[in-house]
Amino acid sequence: MIRLDNFTVKIGDKVILKNIKFTFEPDRVYCLMGPNGSGKSTFAYALAGHPAYQLEEGSKIYFCEEDITDLSPDKRAKKGMFLSFQTPLSLNGVNAFQLLRLSLGEEADPLSLKKEIEAVAKKLHVKKELLSRSLNEGASGGERKKLEMLQAAVIKPKFVILDEIDTGVDIDALKSIGRFLEEFKKGRTIVLITHYSRILRYINPDKVLVIIDGQIKREGGQELVAEIEDKGYQFYR
């Protein structure tokens, strides 16, 4: 699905991710774990194409074997990439419907889109008034994350990065998100970025990656989670 080659990312002069080589397979759930400052969010932003993150020459990103290294964020999204933000910003005067309508473009029928949004909102327990309001405005942490999921559900991407979907979320919201992901993951590649194992109660990763100091230090199955819980990230340095 996504193949990274020599993936080296800088902000200004500072190198954050070093020479990552990795392939994300289709129809798999990955869990990217690591301590604060290890480069987890950089990983998410750089993949999505944030302009502040520069790739070192020779770094390559392939989407289904197509080189997307130089594509703008919107073009990457059109290929099927989706980033759920750690702290989704509130957008004054822009509601979920307006955003999604532009996102899907002309082919989307406004009426069926509206119905679809409402149906997904119901599934995720998103309050109806949040849909007509400016996106994320006055929304709690959990509501914001659920609205991210709502967008993913409507856009239907193939490759989904969830940056700390479990941060700032109460237990009920986390349950709704977990239940949603259980169904949503089918046929997609999901990358869960987290530093807690909390979310893993609701969704089972096929593979766990430990990222420390900008490098993938360890790969393994679910058993790795228990090891991290037990020994802490220190162990992998």
Partner 1 sequence: MTDNQSLHFDYRYGFSMPEKYVFKTRKGLDSDIVKEISYFKKEPVWMTEFRLKAYQAFKKRPLPSWGADLSGINFDDIYYYIKPTEDQKKTWDELPREIKETYDKIGVPEAEKKFLAGVSAQYESEVVYKSIQKELARQGVIFVDMDTAVRDYPKIVKEYFGTVVSPHDNKFASLNSAVWSGGSFVYVPTGVKVSLPLQAYFRINAKNFGQFERTLIIAEEGSYVHYIEGCTAPIYTSDSLHAAVVEIIVKKGARVRYTTVQNWSKNVYNLVTKRAKVEEEAVMEWVDCNIGSRVTMKYPSCILAGRKARGEVLSIAYASENQLQDAGAKMIHLAPETSSRIISKSIAGRGGRTSYRGLVYVSPRAEFSFSYVSCDALILDERSRSDTYPTMKIETWKTFIQHEATVERLGEEKLFYLQSRGIKKAEAEGLLVNGFIEPVTKEIPLEYSIELNRLINLEMSGSVG
Q: Side chain identity at 109, as an amino acid letter? A: D
Bridge partners, 30 (sequence order): 191, 207
- d(CA 117, CA 128) in angstroms, rounded, equals 10
* 89 touches partner 1 by CB under 8 A: yes
Segments in the chain forming alpha helices (H): 40-48, 73-79, 96-104, 110-123, 129-132, 141-155, 171-184, 223-231
Least distance CB 49 / partner 1 (angstroms): 8
Contact mark string toward partner 1, 132..171, x via CB under 8 A: --x----------------x---x----------------
- d(CA 175, CA 99) in angstroms, rounded, equals 26
From 43, 63, 85, 236, residue interacting with partner 1 (rule: CB under 8 A): 85
H or E stretch covering 8: strand 2-11
From 23, 25, 26, 98, residue interacting with partner 1 (rule: CB under 8 A): 98
Total length of the chain: 237
Least distance CB 23 / partner 1 (angstroms): 22
From 19, 22, 62, 91, residue interacting with partner 1 (rule: CB under 8 A): 91
* Positions in the binding site for partner 1 (CB under 8 A): 48-52, 72-74, 76-78, 82-83, 85, 88-89, 91-94, 98-100, 102-104, 134, 151, 155
